Amino acid sequence: MKTFSVLFVCTGNICRSPTADGVLRHKVIESSLAACVTVDSAGTMDYHVGEPPDDRSQAHARRRGYDISALRARQVQSADFDRFDLIVAMDDSHLHALQRQCPTGQKQKLKRFTAFCQKYKSQDVPDPYYGGAQGFEHVLDLVEDGCDGLLASIKEQI
């Protein structure tokens, strides 16, 4: 079985991308694929480097059985384009930022997260940071759906 690595990217790496990181890690473990699938997350900006995910993201994730408390924010690095098989942007602004930073020969690795959603139709995973509890729940709904589709895609490739 081949190995496969995924990097989720949002703005500050404290809400959407760590949520996706935690959900996919959980699903990978449940699928007995932890030995061959690695997951990480990063931000396009350095606003929160070294900080844990937003307390609200942690609380909502925990209620659904995902522990993201050990994750720490980091910024996307140039080495990430070599290191990861797939780099997943949570919205259009992240995808555009990644496209500008990505070496020409690696652009096929960049995908929009919602391309993996099967139940929900949305262009982007909206930023819940300035909203209420509903926003964090909606992010989790989209992320669980997208991670199911992503995991199915990964299984076809390994």
At residue 4, what are phi and psi to the nearest 5 degrees?
-150, 140
State the DSSP code for 75.
B
Residue 75 pairs with which residues in a beta bridge? 43
35-61 per-position pLDDT tens digit: 999 999 999 999 999 999 999 999 999
124-145 per-position pLDDT tens digit: 999 999 999 999 999 999 999 9
* pLDDT of 1 over the 90 cut: no
Integer Cα distance of 94 and 25 in angstroms: 21
11-37 per-position pLDDT tens digit: 999 999 999 999 999 999 999 999 999
Q: Which of 15, 16, 25, 102 is catalytic?
A: 16
Number of domains in the chain: 1
Active-site residue flag, 10: yes
Active-site residue flag, 16: yes
Residue 73 is part of a domain; what is its CATH number? 3.40.50.2300
Q: Does the model's pTM come out above 0.85? A: yes
For a pLDDT cut of 70, what percent of the chain falls above it? 100
Q: Which of 85, 124, 127, 141 is catalytic?
A: 127
Q: Which domain holds residue 77?
A: 4-157
Active-site residue flag, 127: yes
